[in-house]
Amino acid sequence: MAFPVPGSEVFTQRGLASREAVLAALPDSLELHQHDPSFDELDALTAEVVRHRLWATTERMGQALNRMSGSLVVTDCNDIGVVITNEIGDVVQVGPYSLSLATSIDLAIRWILEHRGPSGIRDGDMFLCNDPWIGGAIHQNDVAVIAPIFHDGKLFAWTASMAHQIDLGGASPGSWTPRAEDVFMESLPTPPVRIVRNFEIQDDVEDVYLRRSRMPKVVALDLRAKIGANRVGRERVLELVERYGADTVKATMARQLDDAEAKLRAKLALAPDGTWTASSFQEQSHTGDRNLHEVRCTLTKTGTEMHFDFTGTSPEAGMINCTYAGLHGALVAGIIMNLGHDIPWATGGMWRAITVTSEPGTLNNADFPAAVGKASVAASFCTINVVEECLSKMTDGSEGLHDHTTAKGCGTWDLCVLAGLDGAGQPFATMLTDAMGAGCGAGVDRDGTDSGGILSIPMGRMPDVEMMEFSAPILYLWRREETDTGGAGRYRGGVTASLAIIPHNTEVPMGQVVSGSGKAVSQNTGLAGGYPGNTQLDIAVREGELARVFAEGRIPAAVEEMGGTTEILSCEEETVLGPRDVHVMLWQGGGGYGDPVSRDPGLVVHDVAELRVSPQAAHDIYGVVLVDGELDEAGTTARREQIKNERREKAVAAR
């Protein structure tokens, strides 16, 4: 039970302070380098060169982080974030990694300016933060290292690097505690502390940070990777300043913000004014819960502005909540995904066209000390889902923006954390990150990409099976795409995949955390008549007879071939994977677009041949009849007519 904590208010941010408010709170000792609106020496060519250098710098920062890290979540999956901001934290360039994580950094930088400004922010400082109430972190596993960049004694800009850390303590391995009742049962949130001072890591602060982790060596390496990434960012920004002048670089940043705003507004001008609503659900907020929890969004678009109203969202519950930072990052991530492919990813400018209503104490605006350990893939991901759905409903009715319309892809994450001892008695902890290869939603003129990934992490990657087996004592029985997991539609949702793993070379039972929603209610919604993608499913096979099956020279390809007993796992639980158990997980495919009865029958025949659609679904849902794998045109025409007749009869009967 979460009780209010007097004194915690200072760490809670619910909105981005204006420039005027930021400046008013700064001490005289901290000088900012600000854009001079009268500066008129920025030519278009230079602006483009500088703009592209900033963009390339975020990619370089991500590469630096990747190459120094020793954590598979980083090196093989890119669950990281990098960003460059102006002097007050307005995001000028988001790197192509986790968008919602990176775009919440403005809140954290505003907080640092207000609360660390008085004691001095100096060249060579870096701040570590994983406090979701402050920003720069959606849940505590996200740790940001945030670095001011000074030029000529003035605060010129900031860079930040973030990564999901494999374990930062708390009650459960992986810091993911399905039984958490409040944040005190989870990993400790740490507000911005100077982890680096005068370009040197502060060992006392580092000790406080690492002491909480079950995997301190991996986390220590990640810390250095983030510091290194920030140094790459700093060096490259200062190189630009050296070459083009501080005023030119700052004017380019200002133009980047203005362009993002102007281009977003120009797109909104193409859409009709109106109101669109969407809901996204989470089953089970914590172990033992049997309730359904909703994030609801109403988008009202007027002229060139958007108002997102989350009124009607369920009260905070269990460990699936996110803070305002989770809502803030998710909202602009959704906008980048739907509208932003040709807009600068400068969310500081986009925010000028956006307002938000959200009630504190709700699922995606949780009060301290609510549990938020699952925030990034629970309430925050649901926020992405509803924002994307509202935007796609808006663009579906807009001739100028119609091609921006996309049915929802995978709407969450299928989590499995394993921890224990390997065959040599050495401890390990790992997270199966294969769900990074989820199915994408269909568009208005194309199928969703099969196993195309999670759209809010553009550079997210599915890990190499061999690397997963190398990093933990497990063996994969399979990892494969699954038939009928893409939502049916005139354009089909991308199919997704499943895996089955067994413990290998260890007789010690493994601790296991299983967490994932969208098991009863679809999060991967279809659009314009398109069907949702599959529901997620996690299964444990207990005391399987794999040794016998292997001895017979076979590798099981289905749960039914494994022997043992089958257990459907809950959405939030901690369990044990025994030496003869099997863990099977199926994550989410994408939603379909348009009525499946209007899909080109030739495409359905191809889908069946490629095992993306079963002959049964082709017949029942698409109305396509195949004879020996070939299209039966007359049969298909008749079957489609029959489907429409059945609809007429059933709908009438239902009224």
Binding site for another protein (CB under 8 A): 272, 274-275, 279, 281, 283-284, 290-292, 393, 396-399, 402, 405, 444, 482, 484-485, 487-488, 519-522, 525-526, 528-535, 537, 568, 570-571, 586, 589, 594-598, 614, 616-617, 621, 644-645, 647-648, 650-652, 654-655
Residues in the chain: 655
Could you tell me the strand order of the sheet in which 427-431 lies? 427-431, 415-421, 510-515, 572-577
Residue 252 identity (one-letter amino acid):
T
- Minimum CB separation of residue 602 from another protein in Å reads 20
Angle 467-232-107 from CA coordinates, rounded to 5°: 90
Rounded Cα distance between 642 and 414, Å, is 38
- Minimum CB separation of residue 326 from another protein in Å reads 23
CB closer to another protein, 116 vs 393: 393
CB closer to another protein, 503 vs 526: 526
CB closer to another protein, 119 vs 616: 616
Secondary structure, 3-state, 344-371: CCCHHHHHHHEEEECCCCECCECCCCCC
Rounded Cα distance between 607 and 596, Å, is 13
For 540, residues 6+ apart whose C-beta sits below 8 A from its C-beta are 566, 567, 569, 575, 577, 581, 582, 583, 584
Angle, to 10 degrees, between the axis of helix 203-210 and the axis of helix 216-244? 130
- 68: its two tokens: 């120094």
Rounded Cα distance between 307 and 277, Å, is 12
Rounded Cα distance between 518 and 411, Å, is 8
> What is the distance of C-alpha 239 from the center of its chain?
32
Other CB atoms within 10 Å distance of the CB of residue 148: 25
Other CB atoms within 10 Å distance of the CB of residue 123: 16
Angle, to 10 degrees, between the axis of helix 324-339 and the axis of helix 105-116? 140
- 486: its two tokens: 């893409």
- Minimum CB separation of residue 77 from another protein in Å reads 25
DSSP code of residue 77: T
3-state secondary structure of 39: coil
Rounded Cα distance between 229 and 160, Å, is 8
CB closer to another protein, 194 vs 599: 599
- Minimum CB separation of residue 175 from another protein in Å reads 23
- Minimum CB separation of residue 451 from another protein in Å reads 15
Looking only at the bridges linking them, the beta strands covering 354-357 and 305-309 are parallel
CB closer to another protein, 66 vs 498: 498
CB closer to another protein, 283 vs 607: 283
Rounded Cα distance between 410 and 363, Å, is 20
3-state secondary structure of 277: strand
* Secondary element (H or E) of residue 292: strand 292-302
- 348: its two tokens: 């500081």
Preceding amide of 132 cis, omega within 30: no
DSSP 393-411: HHHHT-GGGGGG-B-----
| DSSP E strands, 516-616 | 537-542, 565-568, 572-577, 582-586
* Secondary element (H or E) of residue 327: helix 324-339
